Structure 1
Amino acid sequence: MTFRQLSKTALIGLGTHKTRSLLTILGIVIGITAIILVMALGEGARNLILGQLQSIGSKVIAIVPGRQPRGPTDILSTFTDSLKQRDLEALSSPANVPHATRIMPIVFGSQTASYEGETYRPTILGVTEYFADLYQVYPTEGRVFTEEERKGYADVIVIGNEVKEELFGSQKAVGEKIKIKGRNFRVIGVIGKVGQLSFLNFDQTAFIPYSTAQQYIFGIKYFNRIVVEADTEENIPETVADIKATLRTMHNITDPEKDDFFVETQASALETVGSIMSVITLFLAAVAAISLVVGGIGIMNIMLVSVTERTHEIGLRKAVGATNRNILSQFLLEAVMLTITGGIVGIILGGTLAFAVTLTLSHVYALDWQFALPLSAVLLGIGVSSVIGLVFGIYPARKASLKSPIDALRYE
């Protein structure tokens, strides 16, 4: 028999029990849907995170207080006060970190801001006058604060686009004063619409001198981060080594395992993100694989029932000249057709769900999360479903092919 004849016969066999065929592929549909959903969301998340990390510049090095988290849930390790003013001064010395061009301490938190009865709760970022250059975001109205204003603990503020709209609407904001924690801050600049950048929504952020933030807003004497910009990408490894050596000296640390800080570069952050994404993907893929195996077992059971029900048909076909190979090919093709159909439905359903989730997350969290469905995911879905059909269909197909035509014709 030709492949075309086998396919036609297999389709007729499947069409005889449409409801059973649909229920049979349910496990395959769920498994392939899960695989496509995981791969599509994973690819979209990976692209989003890479874009966020790359937005801070390849020469930027971040110093984070506390020990390095051992996993995605180990974030409490970073809530310490190990980075102080004396550390900033030591790092600012060219003798200690010769390749550093800019050093910026950061303190952050959330506070309520008010203006003439309107209130909004932005993220307050205490920074230096370098923040606009480091993040490549500049006011579309007004200016950034100066070194003199930072050193003088000035009550000046640069606000993001959404902060401006929520507090001032269409009114002019520059020159007006907003109240934060009982102090009147003069708006000196407004940053245009930026969105998410370096995991921070700049539209919902207000920037003030870190000295003012420490003294009057947060009442702390430590930093949440210290950002260092190296002169060239080639000097990043040396700069990282200098930073670690300087801080270990300042903190009297001789054993690197006892560091109360950790240093992140764009390269190390990308590596960390890649590792985390791989673990999550593998876990979810394992869950999907279980569903596929269950679906495969369902395929095998249904095919065995089908073989038993069609024993007389098998006998008739053998009596008119069908070979064992013809019978084997027909039942195996039926199993593969079932699983590939389930795979195609799973790909469509998984892609649709991934698109809906991406759209929802982008809208709710104001993220530039683009839908991405890799070709590899589609090919994997088709390939996996085909393999399952072959693996779990071979036993029922072989059992059908080995039936004696005489015994099969006697079966009722």
Structure 2
Amino acid sequence: MSGPGGAAGGGPGSGVRVEEVLRGAAPRVLAALVRRFGNFETAEDAVQDALLAAATRWPRQGVPDRPDAWLVRVASRRMTDLLRGAAAARRREETAAARTPPHERVAPAADAAADSAEPGGDDTLTLLLLCCHPALTPPSQVALTLRAVGGLTTAEVARAFLVPEATMAQRISRAKQRIRAAGGRFRMPPEGERDARIRAVLHVLYLVFNEGYTASSGPDLQRGELTGEAIRLARAVHGLLPDDGEVAGLLALMLLTDARRPARTAADGNLVPLAEQDRTRWDRASIAEGTGLITRTLARARLGPYQAQAAIAAVHADAARARDTDWPQIVALYELLERLDPGPVVTLNHAVAVAMARGPRAGLALLGPLEDDVRMAGHHRLHAVRAHLLEMAGDGAGALAEFRAAARLTTSVPEQRYLRGRADRLTAMRQDARHG
């Protein structure tokens, strides 16, 4: 995903520089317009137009000395045009301008109410909270977050999730309409609601990261543009809430996990499992940053699920070789995580850790209850984990059947290739054993 300015080449403005400036400026500019005009739906469209204009002009003309001011000026003009056009259309239809709802009227440039908005330093968090409004479904929260806060175009968001641009445009439009219908406003929620809303933001960033780290479908195993955007936004939230342990834990988890990305695929694009990765290719700077962050956080903050997951990732990162992994410590951390945030995926990962620490049969025993869990019905990972543990236990026939089942269920092409490859290898081994 190139992002605004990503296609620029040559000229006074570097394409990378332009993209970085636009990504950072997007939430601040949108906040300025929403505070001034009070119309999130139209303001978001106007900001996108301004970002696209900058992406076209800045690579040739250079980034302005005050890029935020440039974007606010261009977006405000576009906003005024859009609101006036909408008002004129209503007048033609209704023949009475007085019937125009107050929140859709064009505000004067020096609206006193606009100047009383919250400080700009909170803009990113306020926008994230609005985009993650509880009236929205998680997919809609993700899409709106990437569009409004990430500064991605609708086409870029659509490409990221492998859906047509028209489909994504409808999803984003419906999300904004639902926020307005639910009374969502550009302001921090009441104190009693704030913690729950922040947790929703963290969940959305976690979903964005996971989709980027292991794409749920398509030809690529991972999408670095999504993991990068999730990390960027998590850094922004951590900067605004430096004392929140779970915000720090999520950022640490992302850094420690993303550090493995260079070693997760072979030269031919095939998946390389954790135990077989060349750990010299792991990003040591990200590991150092993530480990330092979670170490400091665990010493001062109340423990939460993201911190526990980050601690598990740190134990993996601490092992120079797969066989050096402290599996008993990881088992203990998963037991803690199951108490903090129980769920089938946690149980699945816990089973793998137990198998590595205590033997495959002990891990398989933990998988039994998941067979009746409707949340895991038809999920390829349950079959893949069972296949791995059955192979460890010496049950080649059982492992072969599970690898094949997992390959049928996943929609990720790299995972399909990997799982079928494991099945083919087991088939060849069984044939050699019969003829040996």
TM-score normalised by L of structure 1: 0.26
Q: Does 1 or 2 have the higher relative contact order (CA < 8 Å, sep 6+)?
A: 1
Q: Give the strand-richer structure, 1 or 2.
A: 1
TM-score between the two structures when normalised by the length of structure 2:
0.25
User: Higher helix fraction: Structure 1 or Structure 2?
Assistant: 2
